[in-house]
Amino acid sequence: MRSILTTAAMLLLLPAVSVAAVHEYRLENGLKVIVKEDHRAPIVVSQVWYKVGASYEPGGLTGISHALEHMMFKGTHSLAPGEFSRIIAANGGEENAFTGRDYTAYHQTLAADRLEIAFKLEADRMRNLTLAAEEFAKEIEVVKEERRLRTEDKPTALTYEQLSAVAYRSLPYAHPVIGWMADLENMTIDDLAHWYRLWYAPNNAVLVVVGDVQPAQVLALAKQYFGPLSPEEIPQQKPRSEPRQQGVTRVKVRAPAREPYLIVGFKTPMVGASDEAWEPYALEMLASVLDGGGSARFTKNLVRGREVAVSAGAGYSAFTRLPGMFLVDGTPAPGREIAALETALLEEIGKVKRDLVDESDMERIRTQLVAGKVYELDSVFEQALQIGQLEAMNMDWRLAEEYVERIKQVTPEQVRIVANKYLIDDNMTVAVLDPLPLGDAVGAEAQRSGNGRHQ
Amino acid sequence: MDAISRLFGTLLGVLLFSGLLNQAAVAGPHIQSWTTPNGARVLFVAAPDLPMVDVRVVFDAGSARDGAAAGLADMTNKLLNDGAGPWDADQIAQRLEEVGAQLGLGSERDMAWVSVRTLTEADALARSIETLATILAQPNFESDDFERTRKSMQTALRLGEQQPGTVAKRAFYRSLFGDHPYAIPSDGTQASLSAITRDQVREFHRRYYVAGNALIAIVGAVSRAQAEQLADRLTAGLSPGQPAAELPQVDQLLKMDQQWLQFPSSQSHILMGQPGMQRGDPDYFVLYVGNHILGGSGLVSQLSEEVREKRGLSYSVYSYFAPMRRNGPFLVGAQTQNSKVQEAIDVMLATLKRYIEQGPTEAELVAAKQDITGGFPLRIASNDKIVEYLAMIGFYRLPLDYLDKFVERVNAVTREQIHSTFQRRLNLDRFVTVVVGNGKTAQPEG
């Protein structure tokens, strides 16, 4: 439908707006510092990424990376608990932190002239955390409440947790990031102190700064505050791989719910560990063919079209530390069985295995991707996230810059090849949410009426 | 240790002096405003740095206009891109996605909107605006799409019923707003969704999706002239129409209302509050700054300090005023394991009571002002955020210098104002409390 010429003209826009230079440094103590200038607004984002997350955790200590993330706000030898947040707030900053399978990150967004405050505070808590037992006793309760909120009382989240737990025989991606409740119950402050000593050091961290700053000044500040910190001996991770699965794995999750839910995972390789370098990019393309917006196949054929699902999705990430999964999920339409939904999802995958994807579909996805790269520049946070995520997994941040180019090189034939190679029974795990009754209070709402109000 | 203490001593010194931003940094973006030939109001900010534009068209067409047909506004909005003019849903999605444009639709109690983010490359921009204009003016509301959307909304309701937080929110709004249109659940009920007809949807669209009831917000790399053309094209197919009727005022509650709803969850969700304030409220900045200290500033708020930091009772605890056309809710919320629900409620109430009685300390007020004013540049740092502000300022007819005056207004708030205004506007004896969970104290509804 679109002329190739117009598209080519559009693609040329990208270099014109993404020329912002990225500056990369390494301090003597091993801290990597990456600075990207963006002078659109007088703000700056500072992110410290540690190369540790749930996939580093041994059994019995699941959730410890995330629990430590919480304790990072609970005081250092020079700052009282909560003081970190109070200082950031007194400077109009936004702050938070997050833990993933492969990293833990801390971030502040501030007016550009206040970057120094973030550096002072982050450098301090990189080496000088107090880890007081009485603070931990309260904070682990907060973490347990977080687990209840995010997982225990969310039937779809429980189903995903079970899928991961049974899909992996060996890889630590079997563990939930927030940890199993029993491990949270048994976690001690000594466990955290040990975990902190192991991983929190400048030579296991990456500092990413994006915003209205001068790289030379950022480097000088980084040297001033992070430079004096001593490095540590960081433990070597053993190479891990998943044994061959040899057949479909199925798990049923019975939990109070109204609607059933289905999620399917196929084990896949990632960038840097695939038979062919293009395979992860072809899998990304495949995910977009199935679920890259309202005109992609799942929505077009299953939500509209056959009306077998009220929602259906596909997702895959080419950038992970260990091999992850290509995920497909959905909620059946009223009156449709979960088995019919599974069949329909697999039929859509079957079509990609059989028939080459149309060039027009490939072209649409490329265009969305190119546009998405421009939209990403509207947020300094997003730009820093792209860089930090890759670096925290020991991948080069330039992979994000090359990403569009790599995807553009993927051919319809390659999409068909990866679908046939990886989206197969021997890589497949299926989890189904089987609703248990919720009780009758929920349906009773319509009967409730009346309060003390003026008429 | 000593060296580090000194270092932070110095740091605190820096803080005191950097509490106020220089004047240049506190001005908002330059907003231009006009009205299209058929009566739609437009707010525009030129943002030339990135080759993209955000357009948001907002109508006074939220669920407050549903009448007896709860869910009608939402359903009408959801159906817009399922078929319009010569195109069906597949073609609309394809037209936009082929040029990398992103479409957004949504509705709440006050408003319904359609937005698009597109590159400014000529073909992409033209295609996006033409598609958006058609979606707004000529939706087809085909019977297949209508039935599918009805079923999908009914499933969404059932998905909400399996989430204790969603169940609590519905009960809270119903109790808070009584007979006011804000009590209508925006996503409808099973019965109301079953009863809605296509004719009702057509009529709702005919009445409310009109130029005289529309506000257009534009932010991006286009000139004023281009923005005018764009707004004209967007509204060309809309009839001039009339603004929606005035909504009634929200009555104050006369007495306390407590609801304990049984739910098979490991946590109890607690919501408490009362009708709060409206957009343009004379007390807006006093209540906003006051609430920031009470429960609006994340980990450093009083509620967070008492409930989370001191006692580990909840992961998320907060309070907010949601200002709407009329008084929206003042809401205090938390979730805790079932066995701790009474303790959490007691701490939340004690914190509220103390704050209403005593107000903030001077130090708390200074810290809150530093937080809000120091963070002002963050509020307007992206096209995304600016277009949201334009839609809000335009829809609620706030003055165009709202952002320019923001820092000044925040700085003008005094302790005494917060103290007297919270006393005047919040009354714990007339609070609504909703608890959804599986606690020992949970009672079946009576």
Architecture of the domain defined by B32-235: 2-Layer Sandwich (3.30)
Question: Which candidate from B8, B50, B316 shows the least CB-CB separation from A377?
Answer: B50
Nearest to A97 by CA among A86, A106, A109, A85: A106
Q: Which residue in chain A has the smallest CA separation from B443? A: A441
Q: CA of B410 to nearest chain A CA: how many angstroms apart? A: 13
Does residue B10 sit at the A interface (CB-CB below 8 Å)? Answer: no
Q: CA of B188 to nearest chain A CA: how many angstroms apart? A: 11
Pairing type for strands A309-315 and A104-111 reads unpaired
Nearest to A273 by CA among A173, A167, A392, A395: A395
Beta carbons of A138 and B372 less than 8 Å apart: no
Contacts A9 to B, Cβ<8 Å: 121
Contacts A152 to B, Cβ<8 Å: 265-267
Burial state string for A368-377 with b = 16 or more CB within 10 A and e = fewer than 16: bbbbebbbbb
Q: Token match 């030379």: residue?
A: A216
Q: What is the mean pLDDT of chain A?
A: 92
Contacts B261 to A, Cβ<8 Å: 441-442, 444-445
Active site residue A69: yes
Q: Annotated catalytic residue: which of A28, A57, A69, A359?
A: A69
Question: Which candidate from A85, A152, A259 shows the least CB-CB separation from B162?
Answer: A259
Beta carbons of B155 and A333 less than 8 Å apart: yes
End-to-end Cα distance, chain B = 61
Give the tens place of pLDDT for each residue, A283-328.
Answer: 999 999 999 999 999 999 999 999 999 999 999 999 999 999 999 9
Does residue A10 surpass a pLDDT of 50? Answer: no
Beta carbons of A120 and B7 less than 8 Å apart: yes
- What is the pLDDT, as a whole number, of residue B440? 57
Does residue B256 sit at the A interface (CB-CB below 8 Å)? Answer: yes
Superfamily of domain B257-437: Metalloenzyme, LuxS/M16 peptidase-like (3.30.830.10)
Contacts B298 to A, Cβ<8 Å: 85, 89
Does residue B361 sit at the A interface (CB-CB below 8 Å)? Answer: no
Per-residue confidence at A439, pLDDT binned at 50, 70, 90? Answer: confident
Beta carbons of A85 and B49 less than 8 Å apart: no
Q: Which stretches in chain B have pLDDT values below 70?
A: 1-25, 440-446
Question: Which candidate from A148, A258, A435 shows the least CB-CB separation from B266?
Answer: A148
Q: Which residue in chain A has the smallest CA separation from B3? A: A78
Contacts B102 to A, Cβ<8 Å: 371, 375
Half-sphere exposure of A142 (CA within 13 A, CB side): 26
- What is the pLDDT, as a whole number, of residue A258? 96
- What is the pLDDT, as a whole number, of residue A21? 87
Instruction: List the Cα angle A72/A74/A76 in 5-degree steps.
Output: 80
Most confident listed range (A14-28, A151-165, A233-247): A151-165
Beta carbons of B253 and A139 less than 8 Å apart: no
Contacts A139 to B, Cβ<8 Å: 312
Contacts A453 to B, Cβ<8 Å: 178-179, 251, 253-254
Beta carbons of B335 and A145 less than 8 Å apart: yes
What's the ipTM?
A: 0.92
Q: Is the fold of B32-235 the same as that of B257-437?
A: yes
- What is the pLDDT, as a whole number, of residue A11? 37
Q: Which residue in chain B has the smallest CA separation from A109? A: B378
Does residue B380 sit at the A interface (CB-CB below 8 Å)? Answer: yes
Contacts B99 to A, Cβ<8 Å: 2, 10, 367, 371
Does residue B179 sit at the A interface (CB-CB below 8 Å)? Answer: yes
Give the tens place of pLDDT for each residue, A389-434.
Answer: 999 999 999 999 899 999 999 999 999 999 999 999 999 999 999 9
Of residues B283 and A14, the one with the higher pLDDT is B283
Contacts B50 to A, Cβ<8 Å: 17, 40, 374, 377-378
Contacts A79 to B, Cβ<8 Å: 8
Question: Which candidate from A77, A258, A368 shows the least CB-CB separation from B1?
Answer: A77
Give the tens place of pLDDT for each residue, A71-99.
Answer: 999 999 999 999 999 999 999 999 999 99
Per-residue confidence at A4, pLDDT binned at 50, 70, 90? Answer: very low
B residues 420-439 lying closer than 8 A (beta carbon) to A: 430, 432
B residues 283-322 lying closer than 8 A (beta carbon) to A: 297-300, 305, 308-316
| Mean pLDDT, residues A190-203 | 98
Does residue A445 surpass a pLDDT of 50? Answer: no
Nearest to B211 by CA among B242, B186, B249, B256: B242
The full set of domains in chain A, from first to last, is: 22-226 (3.30.830.10), 249-436 (3.30.830.10)
- What does pTM read for this prediction? 0.92
Question: Which candidate from B51, B179, B316 shows the least CB-CB separation from A374?
Answer: B51
Q: Which residue in chain B has the smallest CA separation from A13? A: B51
Q: CA of A384 to nearest chain B CA: how many angstroms apart? A: 15
- What is the pLDDT, as a whole number, of residue B19? 37
- DSSP secondary structure string for all residues of A325-355: EEEEEEEEPTT--HHHHHHHHHHHHHHHHHS
Q: Record the tokens describing residue B17, joined without a space.
A: 């002096």
Domain extents for chain B?
32-235, 257-437
Does residue B2 sit at the A interface (CB-CB below 8 Å)? Answer: no
Q: Record the tokens describing residue A300, joined without a space.
A: 């077009």
Question: Which candidate from B175, B178, B444 shows the least CB-CB separation from A441?
Answer: B444
Does residue B123 sit at the A interface (CB-CB below 8 Å)? Answer: yes
- What is the pLDDT, as a whole number, of residue A446? 37
Give the tens place of pLDDT for each residue, B66-108.
Answer: 999 999 999 999 999 999 999 999 999 999 999 999 999 999 9
- What is the pLDDT, as a whole number, of residue A72? 98
Half-sphere exposure of A408 (CA within 13 A, CB side): 13
Q: Record the tokens describing residue A114, joined without a space.
A: 């206040």
Burial state string for B164-187 with b = 16 or more CB within 10 A and e = fewer than 16: bbbbbbbbbbbbbbbebbbbbbbb
User: Could you give the CA distance from residue B175 to residue B177 in angstroms, rounded to a whole number?
Assistant: 6
Residue type, A179: G
Question: Which candidate from A1, A82, A144 shows the least CB-CB separation from B98?
Answer: A1
Q: Hey, is A323 helix, strand or coil?
A: coil
- What is the pLDDT, as a whole number, of residue B150? 98
Percent of chain A scoring above 90 in pLDDT: 90
Q: How far is CA B213 from CA A397, B62, B206, in A?
A: 48, 12, 11
Beta carbons of A43 and B374 less than 8 Å apart: no
User: Could you give the CA distance from residue A268 to residue A265 in angstroms, rounded to a whole number?
Assistant: 9
Best residue in B81, B155, B318 for a mutation probing chain A (most A CBs within 10 Å): B155
Beta carbons of B124 and A10 less than 8 Å apart: yes
- DSSP secondary structure string for all residues of A94-136: EEEEEE-SS-EEEEEEEEGGGHHHHHHHHHHHHH-B---HHHH
